[in-house]
Structure 1
C-alpha cells in the first residue's frame, strides 16, 4: 500500500507587519469591505463551520463580550465557507438557545478566496474544516498578531482581549509587554543600545530588563 501524500501547509507569505489583503464579501451585516475598517482595530477570524460545537461556544462567548471589544475601538469580523443563509440560520439558533445576539459581521467565503489570500487554508484544501485562525489588524491595516488553533480547540476570549490590550499599550508607550502581562501590570523599557549606557548600568540586567511603569487604561 502506498504512503499518503503529505498535506500541503497553508502558505501565502503573510507575516506580522504585512498589510492585510483587502476584500469585499457578503456578510450577515451587509456587504463588507476590509478597507472600510481603516482607522480602528479589527480582529478577523475564521471558524471551520456553522452548527458545530466548538464554534458555537466561541460565538456565544464573543457575542457576550462584544462590548469589551467595542470599548477598545476594535471591530470583530468572522468568516467561514458556509453560505450567508447558513450563517443566518445558525445565528438565529444561537439567539434562541443562548439568548445572545451575534451582531458582528459573519462573512461567507464559499470559494475560499479570502481564506487562501490570508493563508487560512492550503491551496489543496476544499474546505476550511481544519482551521481556526485569528488576525489582529491595526488602524493602519497592518497585521500585528496572528493565532491558529485546530478545529477541536476553541479560542480564549480573555486572551484575545489581553493580546489587543498589549498591542495598544506597547504602541502607546513604545514599551514591551512581558509574559502574562495584563492592564495594570508593569511594561518593560526598550533595551539600551549604547555601550556606555550598558557599562554604566547599576547592575548586570537593568540595561535590558527594566520596568517602564504600569498601564491602567488603554
Structure 2
C-alpha cells in the first residue's frame, strides 16, 4: 500500500513561504518581489489548455484594476519558461491579449509543493487552480482553491481583494455579498460600556448592539 502524500498547505495568517524562481519577466526572489504591494499569486494546471487560457486572459484584461489596487499579479504552472513564452506569444497572436505579468516556470514543482498547489487526489503533476492573496508584509490573507475543470470568477477575486484592503484601511468587516459602496459592519462592543454607547449611537444602522452597519 502506498503511503499517503502529505501536502504542505500554507494557511491564512501565515507568512508566505519564500522562494526563488524563473519567470517570464526574469528571475525573482519572492521576499524581494513587489515591495510595498499586494500580490495575487495564482496557479494554473498547464499552458496551451482551454480553461487556463480563458483565466490568464481574464487576469491580463483586468490587470489595470489590479494596478489600481496596488497589486502585482504572479502566475504559475508546472511548465518550462520556453512553454510559457510560446503560450504567451500564441495567445497574443490569436486574440490580441498579452499576459504582461510574470509567470513562474515551476518545472521542478518546488513552488507548487511549497504552497500546497499539488493535490494528489486531483493530480500529482498539475497544479490546481489556487489563488493566494498576500499583503505588503508578505502575509497570506485569503486562499481560494478550484479543481482543474472549473474556472475562477474574476469579479470575486477583485471583490475579495478590495474587501481585504477596505477592511484594513477602515478597521471594519464586510457582510455577505459586500461590494464597494455597500455598508460595512463595525466591530462589536467588547465591554458593557461600549455596548451602552452602541445602543445610544444613532449614526449607524443597528440590527442589535452586536450587528451594526455604517456607510464609509
> TM-score scaled to structure 1, two decimals?
0.88
Residue 27 of structure 1: which of 23, 34, 55 is its match? 23
**How many matched pairs?**
209
SS at match of 1:210: strand
Distance 1:123 1:156, change over 3 A: closer
The CA deviation at 1:184 is 0.7
Is 1:111 the counterpart of 2:111? The answer is: no
Q: Matches of residues 39-188 of structure 1 in structure 2 within 5 Å? A: 39-122=36-119, 126-129=124-127, 131-188=128-185
Cα distance between partner residues in 2 of 1:187 and 1:6: 47
SS at match of 2:148: coil
Distance 1:13 1:49, change over 3 A: closer
* RMSD of aligned alpha carbons: 2.2
Deviations 1:140-175 (A, max 9, x none): 000000000001111111111101100000000000
The CA deviation at 1:6 is 9.1
Cα distance between partner residues in 2 of 1:7 and 1:47: 24
The CA deviation at 1:134 is 0.5
Cα distance between partner residues in 2 of 1:144 and 1:182: 18
SS at match of 2:211: coil
The CA deviation at 1:123 is 7.3
Equivalent pair of 1:60/1:98 in contact (CA under 8 Å): no
Runs of 4+ off more than 3 Å = 4-8, 122-126, 196-200, 202-205
> TM-score scaled to structure 2, two decimals?
0.89
Gaps of 5+ in 2: none
The CA deviation at 1:212 is 2.8
Deviations 1:66-124 (A, max 9, x none): 11101111000001110000001111111011111111001111111101111111479
Is 1:198 the counterpart of 2:200? The answer is: no
Gaps of 5+ in 1: none
